[in-house]
Amino acid sequence: MANPSPAKVSAECPHCGFKQMEYAAAKSSMCRQCGRSFTPFAPKPILKLRTTEEAPAPETSSSIFGKLEDFWKRQTSSVVECFECKRKQQVSGAATSTICPSCSTHIDLRDYKITSGFSRSIRTRGNVHLSGKGDLASSSVECQSALIEGRLRGNLHSDTATINYSGKIPGRISARHIIVDRKADVHCFRRVHAEHIEIKGRMSGEIIAQSVTVHRKGSLEGDVAARSISVEKGGMFSGQLAIGQIGFAQGELLGKEKPTALRSTESSFQDAVARPLPAT
C-alpha cells in the first residue's frame, strides 16, 4: 500500500504577502508571485501595511448598514484582467483573489491603504490609497486605481491615478487616466505617461500623453508631447509643446518605453519654441 503524501499547509510570503501551499516539513521555498525565496514557517515580521480586509472591523460592522454593504458586495461582480496574458474574467465583488483560467497566474483583488513608510512591491487589481502620512518607496506598484495624498518615491502603474498632494514626486507615474486635483501642487521629476491627463490644480514636469486638459484655475508648466491639448478659460500652460509627435503604443503607457520613440519626442522638444500659452 502506497504511503500517503505529506500534509501541506498554507504559508505566506513575507515579501509580497502571497499565500501558497507548502509541505509542513519544508525549510525553504520560493514565492510563486514575486519569485523571492523565504522560510515558510519562520516568525512573521511586523508589517506596516494593512489591507482593508485585514483592518479591524469598526463598531458599526454589526449594524444593518454593514450587513447590507457586505450583502451588496457579494451580489455585485467586476471584470478583472490578468497581469500576464491579459485575459479578462468576471469575479465576485467579495473576492479577495482569483486565478487566471488561461495561464493560472494569481491575481490579488485586495485594496491597500499605506499610512507610513512602505517599500514592498504591490500588484493588485484593487485600489491603493497613499495617505497623507504615507511614504511609498516601492520599486513597483501596479493597481486598478490609486489615490496619492502622500510622498511617492517609487514607481506607480495604474488604470486611474488621482493626485491630491503638494510637493515633489521623485517616482514614475504611468496610467491611462491621471487627475491632478484642485488642491494639488506637484513637481514630477520623472516623465509622466498617460492616455489622458486632467490638470485641475498645479503641476510641473514632463508629460507624454494622448490628450491633455488644463481646467479652469489649473496650471501646467513643463514639456508636453501629446496628440491634443485643451486649455480652458482661466487655465494656464507654460512650456515646450509638441503636438502629433507621439510614437508609442498603448502598452507603453505602463512603463514599457521604446528608446527610438523617446528620442524622437525629446528632439521635438528641442525644436519647439518655449512660450506661455494662457487660455483665451
Q: What is the pLDDT of residue 252?
A: 45
Residue 83 located in a structural domain: no
Q: Are 229 and 212 in contact (CB under 8 A)?
A: yes
266 and 149 housed in the same domain: yes
Coil/strand/helix, residue 23: strand
30 and 118 housed in the same domain: no
The total number of structural domains that make up the chain: 2
As averages over each run of 10 residues, the pLDDT of the chain (280 residues) reads 64 78 78 76 53 47 60 69 87 83 88 89 91 88 93 92 94 94 94 95 95 94 93 93 64 42 43 44
**Interatomic CA distance for residues 84 and 107, integer angstroms:** 10
265 and 173 housed in the same domain: yes
Residue 201 located in a structural domain: yes
| Structural domain span for residue 16 | 10-43
Chain position carrying cell 493560472: 104
Query: In sequence order, which residues have a C-beta less than 8 Å from that of residue 2 and are 6 or more positions away?
Result: none
233 and 126 housed in the same domain: yes
Q: Are 34 and 13 in contact (CB under 8 A)?
A: yes
39 and 121 housed in the same domain: no
| Amino acid sitting at position 19 | K
Residue 101 located in a structural domain: no
Residue 211 located in a structural domain: yes
Assigned C-alpha cell, 5 = 503524501
Q: What is the pTM of this model?
A: 0.65
Give the residue among 270, 181, 273, 162 at the shortest CA–CA distance from 219. 181
Q: What is the pLDDT of residue 24?
A: 74
Residue 148 located in a structural domain: yes
117 and 25 housed in the same domain: no
Residue 169 located in a structural domain: yes
Asked whether the CA dihedral 239, 240, 246, 249 is positive or negative, the reply is negative
Residue 257 located in a structural domain: yes
Residue 90 located in a structural domain: no
250 and 114 housed in the same domain: yes
For the CA atoms of 268, 271, 276, 280, what is the dihedral angle to 10 degrees?
-70
Q: What is the pLDDT of residue 138?
A: 81
